[in-house]
A and B are shown apart, each in its own frame.
Chain A
Amino acid sequence: MTRALFVLLGLGWLVFALSGYVVGYVVDYVNGSSATYFFLRLDNGSLIPLVEPPPAYLVGTGERVEAELVYTEEAAKAMVSAPRELTQVITRQPVSGPLLVTLVAAKFADVSAEPYNMSYVHDVVFGPLPSMRHFWESASGGAVVIRPYYIHWGWVTLPRTKAAYCNTSNAFSQIAVDMINLLYSKGVKLPSYSYLIIILNDRPSCFGAAAGIGTLRFWSFNTPYGTIHLAVSLILHYTNFTRNNPNVLVIAHEFGHNLGLDHPGTQGDDVWSEYDNYWDVMGNLRLRRYLNSWLGVAYYDLPNGLTLPHLYFLGWGSFVGSGVGAWLLGPRSGVYIPASVGVYTVEYKCGGVYEQFLDWCGVVVHRVSSSASGRWVYFHTVLNVTGAIVSPVNFLDVGQSAWVAGQRVSVVWRNSTHAKVVVGLPTLADAVGANATFVVGSRAAAIDSVAAVYARAAFSPTATFTLPVFHYEISNSRTLFNPLFAYLDNEQWLTQVRYYSAGSGWQPYPVRYPGVVVSVGGPFANSLTRALNPPDRLGAGGLPFYFDTAAGGIRDARTGQVWRSRAAVVAVVPNGSRVYVLVWGLGGEDTRRAARWLAECVPPRAYAVVINTTDFRVLASWPSGFEGASVCPGAVYTAAAVVGAGAASIDAVGAAMAAGGLGLLDSEVVFDRLPPYVFSVGGPLANSFTRLYNPPDRPGFGGLPFYYSTSRGGIVDGRTGALLCTSNCFVVAKLVDRGRAVVLAWGIGGHDTRAAAAYLHHHGRSLLDSRSNTARVVSWSYLSRDGYRYGLNFTTLATWP
């Protein structure tokens, strides 16, 4: 009777449980009112009215939901069930506490070689960094302690030859069984639920090209002391290369299988896909580094780290949240996005003990399948790169954005341990403080470009890694090559060079230098702004504010309202695989005020605003609801950048490289009102403030010996009269005048001036810290490879004093 009741209840659940998609429509009535109707659309197209409004993020997204059928007085209706909890879609099998590991080196009966001594065998398994033990203990954050249970110090001989093992029905298990018996003969009884690692001196032919073999958690074994459960790893000797170049990766990888992990590569049918995960030890992409070891400096194959789906599975990682929001992701944590095919996880890999050896820092995405019968974690490609091995390029650096399960995922900021990731469309509040790259129009007035100096005060510049000299076997690791982060709209950017394999060798995958792109200046002055926010029509992503040429002002397409003076647009626009911030006003001064609003006011959680550039009132916002007075605590500026009013844009771009703070034209400078640090950018012919301190054809302030010679067309050292350079060089100087530091940065041409500002950013610390007047003349060039510029190179030509 009870049984029948249970069956009835179960069947009842099946009858009344529904699955489908949430759709809706709005009816707008003549009198201005409206009504919204929501339905559950079943797979057969049937529409069932919902009894109550569903969560907004489920409507029209194509996201499968579960619902229950409920009866009302009117009719049967559906009610969307609460989203499933994470634990129902990503499973956990926590591992903690001491793990007992037995380590034995074993020879086949017909192979006498002992390729490693026992110090080697011990240290790659139990030694300090890098070792199997150190990797898993650090990956677990101390949750597990790997304890050597028994180490046989010396090689033992298995009772069978390689061929004999291959003649058994299961060579792997036969080796394990023989080893259990062999250890028993030496008085060793292996504890149940312990781990057995066998280092072999050769590779039987029936193991094919295997480098390592590992059980997925435990097998049962009959022993003279009863049935025990063991997880077993076999490490095969397949090359003498590993004698001097220990392969910790393979041993750590097999132990990962012993803990229950499978391969987390990309979804695909080729032989590489299963292992294509650069960010996880359970992938199999080589990470080779020279490290100190017991045999001196050795060239190690290192485990790559452990990604969040695996950390969570083992109980060592957590999720700070799910779905739409701005999330700060740190070590061993991330966010997840539910989807019909399972769950997508988003995490940041950079600063972990073994992550430090990865070539890149990046935000990576995995899909965890909820309906697996084998592999269940898949590396998710976020960029449009196909090939055999694509996981090393499919990550998001700052400023990059991708669609994941119908949501925008954008990275706006990161350091060596944390990253700020926005799921959903980023707002102005999310974008402020981002790692940014600045762009101004090549033909813009200097005042437009000076606005970038203010904008820079609201952001932090992007300075991230690239990898221009990578080779599969000899990696140079992460490197910073004095990158630029301020450009003209028509300029070739520096690239971040990543590498992938299409199956026939490694290919460069150049990415425009990372960073949220802050595009300063209006659509007529800046072609990037024009592409994203063109006149007379909606901008990218439906941005409703644009310049209306007929009306001569900024129009709000939703209301038709136009502002013809003292107005500016500030907007966040994700487009393609990048996030942009647009800052532009009706005139140059409006643009500068808009950038100043960003620097001094608290931006709302809107995608875009139109502001009054006089009082900073928000005139319109997208979405609506943020109109009104801005909250502006103001700012105390410690630095100013001064640019010649008639200078070329490139000079002013250099100013944004040099400093964030007050952006001033040379004609606006009032010395007594200047902040403590004043960066004067541009040469004496373009910037009158620079000319005051460093006039042409003669030594400058305080005896500064470097000056521009109009007759010789280059920079001269006044101490010797020598012409130091006529191209690709610049002067940087720090002069102390009436309690202020006046920092000069100027070159022969505008690009030289920008290089001078980049030098100040990357190498100017010693110059700026000097308590007395000092200066340098530096030559520079672009670093490039395969036609891609990836950084700047500097050589000091002269110093003063």
Chain B
Amino acid sequence: MKFGFLVLAVVVALVVAAVLLVSAPRESPPPTQQPPQNNSPPTTQQTNTTPQQPIEVTWRGYISAVVFDFVNMTGGYTEWFLDFDNGTWVRLDFTNATFRLRDHFAIYVGNPDRPVYVRGVWNGTVLKALEIYD
């Protein structure tokens, strides 16, 4: 009897969770398929403009990077970009991003075959990523 209640409780919990998940906003069609007006990736020229009012966007592209190696190990740094696979990139800051990737991060970098969605705040020069996912 007790076991029957347990099974029933689990099933109810699963159904409720499923309904919540199906109706969640982030499960709406991929943003690049029906992007809002201000959600369009910038052109190369737009990346050169001065900072604009920050807006939240979700863009699709692949992660690209360039590494600056300093002389005698006195430092160095890596600049990250979201590459739209059309010769256009925006700087990517994922300092505070949450990664939800199926594979190891290294697979995605510089790999046009492994595009990702980046949800973040675009200020006209840098896309501050909040979430990066397949």
Contacts and interface: CB of A to CB of B under 8 A. Distances in A.
Contacts of B21: 7, 11
A390 B67 CA distance: 23
A272 B111 contact: no
B69 A284 contact: yes
Nearest to B64: A219
Given A91-B106, A220-B87, A11 B94 contact: no
A216 B109 contact: yes
Given A257-B67, A373-B94, 15 more contacts: A7-B21, A91-B107, A172-B66, A209-B75, A215-B66, A216-B64, A220-B64, A220-B89, A231-B110, A260-B110, A370-B104, A372-B104, A372-B106, A373-B105, A389-B73
Contact of B71 (A7, A211, A216, A274): A211
A313 B48 CA distance: 36
Given A220-B83, A220-B84, A376-B105, A213 B66 contact: yes
Interface string A336-374: 000000000000000000000000000000000010111
Interface in A1-30: 3-4, 7-8, 11-12, 15
Interface stretch (A221-229, A456-464, A677-685): A221-229
B86 interface: yes
B112 A220 contact: yes
A271 interface: yes
Interface in B76-96: 76, 78-79, 81, 83-89, 94
A552 to B, nearest CB: 62
Contacts of A222: 44, 86-88
Contact of A215 (B47, B73, B110): B110
B18 A216 contact: no
A726 to B, nearest CB: 52
A210 B69 contact: yes
Interface of B: 10, 13-15, 17-18, 21-22, 44, 47-48, 64-76, 78-79, 81, 83-89, 94, 97, 99, 103-107, 109-112, 125
Interface in A149-168: 168
Contact of A219 (B44, B73, B83, B107): B83
20 contacts: A7-B21, A8-B15, A15-B13, A168-B48, A169-B47, A172-B79, A208-B68, A208-B70, A216-B64, A216-B65, A216-B66, A217-B110, A222-B87, A227-B87, A238-B71, A250-B69, A254-B67, A262-B67, A275-B73, A275-B76
A584 to B, nearest CB: 49
A218 B110 contact: yes
Contacts of A276: 73
Contact of A271 (B10, B74, B105): B74
| Interface footprint category on A | 35 or more
Interface string A269-301: 001101110000000111000000000000000
Contacts of A272: 73
B18 A218 contact: no
A227 B61 CA distance: 14
A218 B62 CA distance: 10
Nearest to A91: B104
Nearest to A6: B18
A216 B110 CA distance: 6
A490 interface: no
| Residue with the highest number of chain A CB atoms closer than 10 Å, among B14, B64, B69 | B69
A577 interface: no
A96 interface: no
Contact of B69 (A11, A93, A213): A213
A509 B97 CA distance: 41
B10 to A, nearest CB: 7
A99 B70 CA distance: 26
A380 interface: no
Q: Which 4 residue pairs across A and B have the least CB separation, nearest first? A: A217-B110, A222-B87, A91-B104, A271-B75
B87 A376 contact: no
Given A91-B103, A231-B110, A4 B70 contact: no
A143 B75 CA distance: 32
A426 interface: no
Interface string A228-271: 01011000001100000000001001100100101100000001
Contacts of A91: 103-104, 106-107
A171 to B, nearest CB: 10
A253 to B, nearest CB: 6
A220 B112 CA distance: 8
A173 B65 CA distance: 11
A214 interface: yes
B97 A373 contact: yes
A207 B75 CA distance: 12
A93 B67 contact: no
Contacts of A239: 71
Contacts of B69: 210-214, 250, 253-254, 275, 284
A221 B22 contact: no
Nearest to A285: B73
A221 B109 CA distance: 16
Contacts of B89: 170, 173, 219-220
Contact of B106 (A209, A285, A376): A376
B85 A169 contact: no
A4 B13 CA distance: 14
A561 B76 CA distance: 64
A329 B48 CA distance: 52
B12 to A, nearest CB: 12
A497 to B, nearest CB: 22
A169 B15 CA distance: 51
A284 B75 CA distance: 10
A613 to B, nearest CB: 56
A656 B67 CA distance: 55
B73 A284 contact: yes
B76 A274 contact: yes
A116 B112 CA distance: 35
A4 B74 contact: no
